[in-house]
Amino acid sequence: MKLKLTHCSSVIVLALGLCHPAFADFSNYYNVANWTINDNAGGSVDLSSAPASVTLTSGNAGIPGDTIFSITAEGLEKIAFDWSYTTNDLWGESGTDAFGYVLNGNFTTLIDPNQDSSIPTQSGSIEFIVNPHDVFGFDANTLDGYYGSAVTVVSNFTVTAVPLTETIWMFSGGLLLMSSMLGRRRLPA
């Protein structure tokens, strides 16, 4: 009986160790000090409002490119955040200074590049799943690097561990069954 209880406790401790709690803002593992800034367009990342928010500004130095604020994912997690975008483009065109997120080098635009130029602001919320060791981040892109930059505030950043899948529970159940079978005594014939 003691052996079964020990094996059961081991499986429970293992399962609990595979998940971590949710947290908000740029804190814990996702503290802004752990992120990387890559800029090839003369843009900037303002961290002065962290951990509540970060602000990305696209380049306006005559160089097309990206200003990326990124990090390697800690685990299987749901990433969620709000964003508020304002273009300072001379003609109010959001399409030349896009904002979005990158996941393993793939850029996903969050703004509407065809929005009416008389409306310079856009905002929204997004959530997506990352796997352990995925590299994700925020990207302030500029196609032309001229005529004004765009400024995006990223806020309400949250990370939530993805619940254990049925596969892990089935694996744990199999381990428990196997350990209980190994713990049985054989009766003499």
Parse the chain into domains and list their residue ranges.
21-163
Q: Which residue has the tokens 């590049």?
A: 113
Strand duo 36-39 + 65-72: pairing: antiparallel
Q: Which CATH architecture has domain 21-163?
A: Sandwich (2.60)
Range in 56-60, 62-66, 93-97, 106-110 the model is least confident about: 93-97
- Crossing angle of the two packed helices 2-17 and 166-183, in degrees rounded to 10: 160
Which residue in 42, 151, 54, 137 sits closest to 98, CA to CA? 151
Contact 101, 110 (CB under 8 A): yes
**pLDDT tens-place string over residues 23-64:** 678 999 999 999 999 999 999 999 999 999 999 999 999 999
